[in-house]
Amino acid sequence: MGLKERREREKEARKKQILDAARKLLLKKGIQSTSINQIARTAELGVGTIYFYYQSKEEIFYSLQEEGLDILYRDIKTTDCREIEPDEKLRETGRTYLRFSAEHKDYFDIINYFLATPSVILSSGLKRQLDQQGSNILDLIAGFIRSGISGGIFRSVDPKKYAVMFWGALHGLTQFKKLEDTVLEGEDHQLIFNYAVDQLIDGLKRTTD
């Protein structure tokens, strides 16, 4: 391994060390109650080292959400590349979102934290980048819907608006997993989730006279 490659690996390892510490603190304390000093202590690094890689704690937390959205986008993009009908692509998107929430729970919780905390302030540049990532995911879902409309499978709807509704429904349905021991006691969350996704897709399909 060359010197340049070794330094690059060391750099990525340091950044991962910082992000792991920040993720732990964010989910425990929230962004407002977390400081660079706390991140440095948890990561067992000097404060100067933190600032070498990130200009602010907001940039650190942005990086965490960016990573999560990147993973989610890649997973849904994989569905887009499959040779399956548009309705099945939407169904697979639902499965992907539920699986993402389980396999990448920390990232899902971070995305949920930022969605539920509108007072969190990022610089306009960072916010625009996150907004673009969210738009990229919506564009994939809207593309599935648009393809179904042009193929005569779905009725005519506004693809972008329906994509927003579909993603919002997936997020809400996924959150209901937390209620299995209370409101949904005795119910199978997976069955409820699948049923709801099927209803959303059936609502798109053209009716035959």
Alpha helices per DSSP H over the chain = 3-29, 36-43, 47-53, 57-80, 86-103, 105-116, 124-150, 159-175, 189-202
Tokens for 46? 């000097």
In the chain, the domains with their CATH numbers are: 1-54 (1.10.10.60), 58-202 (1.10.357.10)
Contacts of 131 (CB under 8 A, 6+ apart): none
Q: Which amino acid is it at 109?
A: D
Give Cα 199 to chain centroid, integer Å.
23
Cβ pair 64, 22 in contact under 8 A: yes
pLDDT at 160: 96
Give which of 200, 207, 20 is closest to 94, Cα–Cα: 200
Contacts of 57 (CB under 8 A, 6+ apart): 22, 31, 34, 35, 36, 39
pLDDT at 156: 96
pLDDT tens track of the chain, all 209 residues? 677 788 888 899 999 999 999 999 988 888 788 899 999 999 999 999 999 999 988 889 889 888 999 999 999 999 999 999 999 999 999 999 999 999 998 889 888 877 766 556 667 777 788 888 889 999 999 999 999 999 999 999 999 999 999 999 999 999 888 887 787 777 888 999 999 999 999 999 987 65
Give which of 109, 105, 127, 102 is closest to 26, Cα–Cα: 109
Instruction: Count helices and strands (H / E) in the chain.
Output: 9, 0
Neighbouring C-beta atoms of residue 20, cutoff 10 Å: 15
Q: What is the DSSP letter of 82?
A: S
This prediction's pTM: 0.85
